[in-house]
């Protein structure tokens, strides 16, 4: 009986996911533990992907938006923190909230390259596991890695991008200011050339994604 209940619940969850993604769903219940495991594993992957996309959309919107009123700031912060792995760990959730709130309160970023780097740095904090978020060295490393993975911005805006990343590290670690050696590491991460192979894949994926969204009426 318990197996049948779990299988039926899984079908219901699959149906909700299909509704979110505009896809079809297998309405037949799993008939074995192996099938239940395989289908649940797929659901878990899809949920993680949807959360990652939704989180990135929130962060991108925050970085691009003008500073907001206090009540709007709180709502925006809560929406992002709720999607973070740190949501249920108060110490980590507070750090994520501080990082997101700093961006909500900041002036909008006009340069797209700078905005992308800021979004990547913030997303690194939001998406990190709680034990990483609460470890200043680990979260700094996570931010650096995320920034280095982004395409290098034009030289004339590199300093602006680096300064913004430094502010995110300050918010994430609670230090009064970033040490000179960390500033040097940030500058290096910002200037790191992107992987041209991954750039090509990203361009293709962007095109395909846009077409799929058009087909789904988004």
pTM: 0.69
Mean pLDDT of 159-170: 94
pLDDT in tens, 15-46: 888 877 777 778 888 888 888 888 888 888 88
Convert the pLDDT of each residue in 136-147 to its tens digit: 999 999 999 999
| Average pLDDT score, the chain | 84
% of the chain beyond a pLDDT of 70:
87
**pLDDT higher than 90, residue 72:** no
CB distance 122 to 77 below 8 Å: no
Lowest mean per-residue pLDDT among 59-63, 82-86, 181-185, 199-203: 199-203
| pLDDT computed for residue 193 by the predictor | 76
Predicted pLDDT at 140: 96
Q: Is the pLDDT of residue 131 over 90?
A: yes
Radius of gyration of the chain (CA): 20
Q: What is the residue whose two structure tokens read 């079809």?
A: 24
């Amino acid at each position: 009986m318990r197996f049948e209940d779990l299988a039926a619940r899984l079908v219901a969850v699959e149906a909700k996911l299909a509704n979110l993604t505009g896809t079809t769903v297998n309405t037949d219940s799993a008939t074995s533990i192996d099938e239940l495991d395989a289908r649940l594993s797929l659901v878990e992957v899809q949920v993680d992907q949807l959360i990652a996309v939704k989180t990135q959309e929130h962060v991108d919107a925050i970085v691009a938006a003008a500073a907001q009123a206090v009540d709007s700031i709180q709502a925006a912060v809560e929406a992002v923190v709720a999607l973070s792995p740190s949501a249920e760990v108060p110490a980590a959730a507070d750090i994520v909230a501080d990082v997101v709130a700093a961006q909500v309160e900041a002036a909008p970023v006009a340069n797209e390259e700078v905005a992308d780097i800021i979004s990547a740095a913030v997303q690194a904090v939001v998406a990190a596991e709680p034990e990483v978020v609460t470890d200043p060295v680990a979260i700094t490393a996570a931010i650096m890695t995320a920034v280095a993975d982004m395409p290098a911005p034009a030289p004339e805006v590199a300093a602006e991008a680096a300064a913004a990343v430094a502010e995110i590290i300050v918010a994430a670690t609670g230090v009064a200011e970033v040490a000179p050696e960390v500033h040097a590491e940030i500058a290096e991460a910002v200037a790191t050339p992107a992987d041209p192979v991954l750039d090509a894949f990203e361009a293709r994926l962007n095109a395909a994604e846009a077409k799929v969204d058009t087909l789904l009426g988004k």
